Amino acid sequence: MCKMKTIFEQIGEKIAGWLESQGETQSFFAERMGISKQVMSKIVNGKKAINIDEIAKIANIMGVTVDELLRPKEIPQVIQEPILFMVGKLENENTKEGLQFLNHVMNEMIELEEILHSK
């Protein structure tokens, strides 16, 4: 299973992507932030915890909202399909099939419930 990235690593990746798309350097960003190049490097590499004021400043420099900066690029599969995530951890094929069927039945029940309540 792959390790989930911290919010600081995710922000660092977004900064790195923005710098690349803008043709800018970490030094440029550090100057705009009012911090040293070394601290900026730690932020970009996700090695420095940043506070809400720094997050707001980063978002402002990048021209995005704080919400956009903090929003993950994609929702991890673990969150999207918790039952199917657990299925992957099972050794017994019959148990996997049973849980997959249970997941299907639960999804059908939810869909039926939504249809009934929409009328």
On whether the CB atoms of residues 49 and 81 are closer than 8 A, the answer is no
Which one of 1.10.260.40, 3.40.50.720, 2.40.340.10, 1.20.1050.10 gives the CATH number of domain 7-70?
Answer: 1.10.260.40
Q: pTM of the entire structure?
A: 0.61
Q: What percent of the chain has pLDDT over 90?
A: 50
Per-residue pLDDT reduced to its tens digit, 64-91: 999 899 887 765 555 555 555 555 555 5
Domain boundaries, the chain: 7-70, 77-118
- Distance from C-alpha of 66 to C-alpha of 68, rounded to nearest angstrom: 5
pLDDT at 1: 47
pLDDT-based confidence at residue 34 (cuts at 50, 70, 90):
very high
- Distance from C-alpha of 28 to C-alpha of 37, rounded to nearest angstrom: 9
- Distance from C-alpha of 109 to C-alpha of 91, rounded to nearest angstrom: 27
Backbone angles phi, psi at 63, to 5 degrees: 75, 30
On whether the CB atoms of residues 44 and 20 are closer than 8 A, the answer is no
Output 45 or 96, whichever has higher pLDDT: 45
Output 42 or 111, whichever has higher pLDDT: 42
Token code pair at residue 89: 């951890």
